[in-house]
Structure 1
Amino acid sequence: MRKLASLTLALVVAGGVMIATPATAAAKISNGVACKKLNQTTTVSGSKYKCAKNPLSTSTKLTWLSLDCLNSAAAFVKSQKDSVVLTTNLTAQIPVIDLGITTETANKAETQKKLDDTNLRLTAAKAKLAAAVSDADKKAYTSAVSAWTSAVRLYTSQLNKITLNIRKLESAKLAATTQPAQLKADVANTKANAQLICTKGF
């Protein structure tokens, strides 16, 4: 009777171990759990895990990481590198843009002066045409009015183009000045998202 009871107890204990072992093994494979073989993969409850170094950590230890975690971490690392490059390029552009604005502003002032002078000459030519008596004078002043009118149109067109260029340069400078902060915020959001997905135990 004692032997039967002992045997029954042993079977119960053994059965408990057999039942508990798979559950314990499955629970061990999650984000942050140590592993030994680099790039080893496994699937737990439909989620794929890989044995790798955590890109979000300076540690060189191998741990199980879900593929979602690895993809999110890779996206963060890439965004961080891209942000550094873009910020450097944007910062380098600012002096060039400033020079362009200075140059175009000087061109605008010069063109405005030419336009003002041309308008004065056009007004004078119109006055002389109105006062002309002979056909020869009328013909000459009509030609002058036509020429100065064309010049006014030309300088007006140039002035409008220069003004548009200045606006574009100012917009480019604003973007180059403010975009680094936005890039930094985007990188921070990408990192926070990766850290959440890579939470230990997930």
Structure 2
Amino acid sequence: MKIVSVGWYDNAYAEICNDNDKSIPCPDLIVLNTSQLTSRYIKGEIISLNNYFKKYNIKTGKSFESMLTKYSLYDYYVDNNWLGVPLTIDFRIMEFNITTFDYCRGEGYDIHYPPPLSDYWGKDYQKTWTWEKAFEYSEMITKCTKKPGFKVISNYGEDIKFFIMLCQSLQIPFFTVDIESNLKKCGLRNSEYINKLSILKDLIKNHYVNKICYY
């Protein structure tokens, strides 16, 4: 087995498998991220996996589609065709500054270390330490330090990835499918989802977060 790392750009755009030019590589397998997958699909280099999924369903009695969450569905499902299978999950880490927390507590703010460094949140801290609480803390830190209490890295599209991650954790799909017309619709227009995203209003309006989205 030979593994070659060609870099992000060539992984998405470099020519592959030219019968008239044997010097051009023709790999058996390419690991793509979702944005690279789109580029290859537009150039007609991605085949539909629908038949493979059907064979898997017949063989195992399990639906491959059901294993993919509705949030990753639209990354791999285009024109009624399954184009790929997720191999890894991209995740982000939230960091906090202990010195800042200590300083603001000394200034009289009721602020506690996020779990699991603090027992304040209880054993079921997945329900008590929420995005609402994190944004509430960003407001307190902003008032305490006179600087944005929440920072999102803005390079390499991290600001957009943060928004996607927030929507996923709040169970807000970017797209919904109208079963009758088979049309994809913007999921953000749903009043329930709009209400969930209202937690961002004060964060951005009052500059509790650093300037993001430079597009």
* TM-score when normalising by structure 1: 0.21
Instruction: Compare relative contact order (CA 8 Å, sep 6+) and give the higher one, 1 or 2.
Output: 1
Q: For the pair shown, which has the larger CA radius of gyration, 1 or 2?
A: 1
The structure carrying a bigger helix percent of its residues is 1
